[in-house]
Amino acid sequence: MRSWNPAAIVNPRAGSGRAVSLWKKEQARLEARFGRIETRETLHPGHASELACELRATGYDLLIVAGGDGTLNEIANGLLAEDSPAGDITLAPLPAGNGSDLARALASHGEPRPLDAVRVACRDVRGSQLTRWFVNMASFGLGAEVVRRAGERSRMGYLFAAASTLRSYRARPVRLTVDGSIAEFCAVHVAIGNGCSQGGGMRLCPRALLDDGMIDVTAIGDVGLFDLVANLRLIYSGRIHDHSKVSHFRGTSFAAEADAALELDGDLVGCLPAEFAIRPGALSIVRV
């Protein structure tokens, strides 16, 4: 059995406090398996990035993360800030967020596996150039507006925010460049997936895999509130591509242009235009 040097990052805000209680429940089990675990709590937004870099520099090679997709996103952005792979430290998520879609997508306990990450070049809210990473899913249009309205609410809160937003949000023109090929269409929501789901199980990119070196994009056309509610079963069952107003694209690099805001792993970061590029095996991940 491999010998690890473990540390943990606990986000006390994740899941409305669930991360702290989960860590208290799991700490003894994990320390019996790995030995003493150096534990740090995040104190403010962005702190998880700082902690991850500090722990990596100190020699820790297993980073247990008690939090949600947003906490994992912060850590990935810290570890990948120099645009070089961070395979020397393995992430071990304990899903405690309202969604935690990436952690729930992992297979049962086993050996570490590669985790792709997506590099994003976009504009921040002031129009300045911004470079960020995501590991699960990004979206623009309706999805970004829903993130803004839903905030830290639960899965049902996410659905209610989506329903209320869709009453007023309308499809907008989108220009998408996929590995050099151009597609133009109108869409109410576009999801860019490394993982397959967001919002606590909404399988918007059901064919996406975390380690296949590809990005999946699902574009939802001009649909209304009634259509959304009537087809929730397609979203949660992974059959969203069966809908006549849904398009699917797959590639290694994308450029997107639209009058729309952009969110990455549930964090509203800025707006389009944006460029997306996959980095295969940028991180290492394991289920503990």
3-state secondary structure 77-115: HHHCCCCCCCCCCEEEEEECCCCCHHHHHCCCCCCCEEE
pLDDT digits (tens, 9 = 90+) for 229-280: 788 889 888 999 999 999 999 999 999 999 999 999 988 999 999 999 999 9
Which amino acid is present at 207?
A: R
Q: How many angstroms separate the CA atoms of 279 and 252, rounded?
A: 9
Bridge partners, residue 10, by sequence: 41, 66
Strand 261-264 and strand 137-141: the pairing is antiparallel
- pLDDT computed for residue 259 by the predictor: 93
Which amino acid is present at 220?
A: I
Tokens found for residue 6: 């473990």
- pLDDT computed for residue 229 by the predictor: 74
Tokens found for residue 69: 């997709």
Q: How many angstroms separate the CA atoms of 139 and 145, rounded?
A: 10
Domains and CATH numbers, the chain: 6-97 (3.40.50.10330), 129-280 (2.60.200.40)
- pLDDT computed for residue 148 by the predictor: 72
Q: Is-contact 6 35, C-beta < 8 A?
A: yes
Distances in whole angstroms, Cα of residue 188 to Cα of each of 261, 269, 272? 12, 19, 14
Q: How many angstroms separate the CA atoms of 159 and 143, rounded?
A: 11
**pLDDT average per 10 residues of sequence, the chain (288 residues):** 91 85 94 96 95 97 94 96 90 84 75 94 90 96 76 57 72 95 95 91 93 96 80 89 95 96 92 97 93
pTM: predicted TM-score of the whole model, two decimal places: 0.91
Enumerate the H helices of 130-231 as residue ranges.
Answer: 142-150, 155-166, 225-230
- pLDDT computed for residue 169 by the predictor: 80
Nearest to 158 by CA among 232, 255, 83, 48: 232
Q: How many angstroms separate the CA atoms of 235 and 250, rounded?
A: 18
Cβ partners under 8 Å of residue 158, min gap 6:
98, 99, 146, 150, 199, 200
- Whether the upstream peptide bond of residue 93 has omega within 30° of 0, thus cis, is no
